[in-house]
Structure 1
Amino acid sequence: MAKTVVITGGVSGMGLSASKLFLSKGWNVMIADFNKELGEKVYKELSSKYSKKQVAFQQTDVSNATSVTDLKTKTSQLFGKVDSVINNAGIFTKGALHEVAEDAWDRIMAIDVKSVYLMTKAFVPDMIEQKAGTIVNTASISGLTGDYNMAAYNAAKGALVNLVRAMALDYGKYGIRVNNINPGPTMTPMFKANPQSVIDTFKKASPLGKLAEPDDIARVMYFLASDESNPITGENIPVSAGFEIYSGQPVQK
């Protein structure tokens, strides 16, 4: 029997790569995203390549409890039990802390952090009953380290970095594993919209001289969601081309 995964933020970038990878591995995939127009386009493309019985799209506001409950109901109707949840939806905002507007702070906390709470409330009870399941959250190396001009984003991703440990401790006895993937700068369509000079600067900052691709992130998502990663739980896994490994100290001659 095919396994089922729910992927939030699944219509572009890392989420789209994950949606395609899980489908290629024979999983049923429920794609959840706020962008209805793009979601329907992606669904049409993927359902023609795979099967309408294997993939579905649900417009979802992951910061809204009713919307997440509707996602859970639709997923259960179409696919039955859920084996994995990929909490990939997220947003970004710039600014030192005093520069961040209150509504911008509330929004990033709602979409990047509260969404994990709501998705867990909706999907974990069934995982507890079936005594199995995996949850993968998209955190960031910005939750592991500090960045200039990114206070709200650092705070949101930092919350996920510790939340994953609490979740792993609470749900391990039910056979549920919870892990974070922590990407660095990644060559998503949004990042590639930067001027080439900016992209080149980021590449030079990596010890590998390159940036991760969305497919690189998707492969680690699949690894953490599947039985291949048993018994890994409660971990933050950087996939960053080495961005988080440098202490910042100058070279000593």
Structure 2
Amino acid sequence: MKNIIITGAGTGMGLSMTKKFLANDWHVIMGVHNLDKAKGVYQELVQKYSPEKVTLKQVNVGDSKSVAEFSKEVNTENSHIDAIINNAGIFTGGQLQDLTEEEWDRTMAVDVKSIYLMTKAFVPGMIQRRAGSIINIASVAGLLGDYSMPAYNAAKGAVVNLVRSMALDYGPYGIRVNNINPGATNTPMFKENPETVKQSYRDASPLKKIAEPEEIANVAYFLVSDQATAITGQNIGASMGYGIWSGQPKQ
């Protein structure tokens, strides 16, 4: 059985990815920040897929000690890791002068440092086996600028370029590294927005719709699968078309 680690797996895109891989007979190691909140979902998955196919573990992906403890347990319990999806992330809004240093540092830790920590913990095993796939969840906000999102833009922009370096370094070992760049997606957090806000995002999309978490999960599964063996170092857009407009007026 193939083993995959998915962080931020208890809700939203991470949960959809978990379900997608479980449905295709993978063993999923769910990394979550809040164990109590994820226990209900975990029990539902265990009942549907069996305890052997899904494992729930707590990890603070931006903290080195937490990731070290997590990786020690995972590597002890599993003979190998085939894939990692660095999905856990946070959004921080506000102009630079209004952000606290703590907000800035936490955004960088969860959205960028986490990839460094998770890779450092698990890529040695992939190098030894000369096989593996790593996916980072970046964002269309890492490709372009947004109003009042400097911390988020900076963090996701770092991830957008990091994937290229990782792909160059690990390619010789048979390890592929890719990003998925979603736009607005119908996660529980996004659904909390007023309807006027949600409609404005639909209007901004050429497809006039918001992505569903399941659609992002489909992209993730494809990129990990043997159908994508020629793809590495790429930023794959899954944003319903955000970012394709030059900004020039319609003629």
TM-score, normalization: structure 1?
0.97
The 8 Å contact of residues 28 and 79 in structure 1, kept in 2 or not, is answered as no
The 8 Å contact of residues 60 and 71 in structure 1, kept in 2 or not, is answered as yes
CA offsets 1:139-189 (integer angstroms, 9 cap, x no match): 000000100000000000000000000000000000000000000000111
> In the alignment, is residue 109 of structure 1 matched against residue 108 of structure 2?
yes
> In the alignment, is residue 190 of structure 1 matched against residue 192 of structure 2?
no
Cα distance in 1 for partners of 2:78, 2:53 equals 8
* SS of 1:30 mapped into structure 2: strand
Cα distance in 2 for partners of 1:9, 1:80 equals 23
CA apart distance, 1:236: 0.1
Amino acid at match of 1:23: L
Cα distance in 2 for partners of 1:7, 1:197 equals 32
CA apart distance, 1:76: 2.4
Cα distance in 2 for partners of 1:41, 1:79 equals 24
Deviates more, 1:64-73 or 1:44-53: 64-73
The 8 Å contact of residues 39 and 59 in structure 1, kept in 2 or not, is answered as no
Amino acid at match of 1:12: T
> In the alignment, is residue 49 of structure 1 matched against residue 48 of structure 2?
yes
Where does residue 133 of structure 1 map in the other structure? 132
Amino acid at match of 1:204: D
Where does residue 143 of structure 1 map in the other structure? 142
Cα distance in 2 for partners of 1:158, 1:43 equals 32
Deviates more, 1:18-27 or 1:40-49: 40-49
Amino acid at match of 1:230: T
Deviates more, 1:200-209 or 1:12-21: 200-209
Where does residue 13 of structure 1 map in the other structure? 12
Where does residue 172 of structure 2 map in the other structure? 173
TM-score, normalization: structure 2?
0.98
Deviates more, 1:160-169 or 1:34-43: 34-43
Unaligned stretches of 5+ residues in structure 2:
none
**Correspondence 1:1-253 to 2 at 5 A:** 2-252=1-251
Cα distance in 1 for partners of 2:68, 2:47 equals 28
Deviates more, 1:224-233 or 1:138-147: 224-233
Cα distance in 1 for partners of 2:165, 2:228 equals 19
CA offsets 1:35-59 (integer angstroms, 9 cap, x no match): 1112222211111111111111101
Deviates more, 1:184-193 or 1:131-140: 184-193
CA apart distance, 1:137: 0.1
* SS of 2:5 mapped into structure 1: strand
Deviates more, 1:67-76 or 1:241-250: 67-76
CA offsets 1:14-37 (integer angstroms, 9 cap, x no match): 000000000000000000010111
